[in-house]
Amino acid sequence: MTMDVVGLREFYSRRLGIVARRLINRGIESRWPHARGQRVLGIGYPTPYLGLFRDGCERCIAFMPAAQGVLKWPTARATLSSLVDQSALPLPDAAIDRILMVHALEMSDDPEALLREVWRVLAPNGRVLAVVPNRRGVWARVDNTPFGHGRPYSRSQIADLLRRTWFTPVGWGEALFVPPLGQSWLLRSAPVWERAGAAMSLPFAGVHVVEATKQVTRPLPVRRERTRLIPALEPSLVPTPMQAEESDAPLVPR
């Protein structure tokens, strides 16, 4: 079950969503402190997080899948968001330096096809940063947040998915150790939860923040052709009609 853009916008307008965005932004900034001069693309519902890069990068755009819907972004400037087919991104090959994926893989009907399109449009030295719900986390078990919708992943599952689609994971992080509750006192203590969870390496974070690089030389499947054996026949002479009559005639002793 996926969420549309209306539900996603409402979540990030509530206090729980504001706190979640701040905590995830810290995880993103720890991997990508800046993107000066880079071409940045966000896929899924990345607009709450693209503000980190919009002012310093060369260009910054957001692609939202058709099944989810699209919202204008940014609201007070020229539109930089677009509705797309996730299996056919409207970009040429190797056009993007950095790709941020939020509410994308877990919401996709075909995450492998999506990642292969990401591979196509990513530059050879480009990087992908994916924010994915943690299967073992509490946030994936409740449906009052977007992280409780779609398919969550364990660390080994997301690593296997990336490798199958020609990416190499190079960095891991976690965020959202705080429980997904809206009480004010709990949300005020969210930074303490984050520091304690990171220090003790607890496996119950709400999301994985995984960075991956593009494998420039991807493996190609080898098709083994079956050799069809045709028996070789010895050529034989066809007898003429006269030879056939002579062979049929009875032998007369002399």
DSSP states along 125-172: EEEEEEEEEBTTSSGGG-SSSGGGSS--B-HHHHHHHHHHTTEEEEEE
* Helix (H/G/I), strand (E/B), else coil: 50: helix
Average pLDDT over residues 128-144: 95
- pTM equals 0.84
CB of 97 closer than 8 Å to CB of 52: no
Taking CA atoms, 172 is separated from 14, 113, 131, 156, in Å, by 28, 23, 10, 12
* pLDDT over 90 (residue 190): yes
Tell me which amino acid residue 85 is: D
* Helix (H/G/I), strand (E/B), else coil: 60: strand
Helices (H), the chain: 5-13, 15-31, 47-50, 111-121, 155-164, 184-188, 190-199, 241-248
Alpha carbons within 13 A on the beta-carbon side of 70: 19
Confidence of residue 199 (pLDDT cuts 50, 70, 90): confident
Residue 34: per-residue pLDDT: 87
Residue 117: per-residue pLDDT: 96
**Of residues 251 and 134, which shows the higher confidence score?**
134
Average pLDDT over residues 1-15: 91
Average pLDDT over residues 182-192: 92
Confidence of residue 70 (pLDDT cuts 50, 70, 90): very high
The token pair that represents 57 in the structure block: 């990068």
Q: What is the percentage of the chain residues whose pLDDT exceeds 90?
A: 74
* CA-wise closest residue to 115 among 131, 104, 126: 104
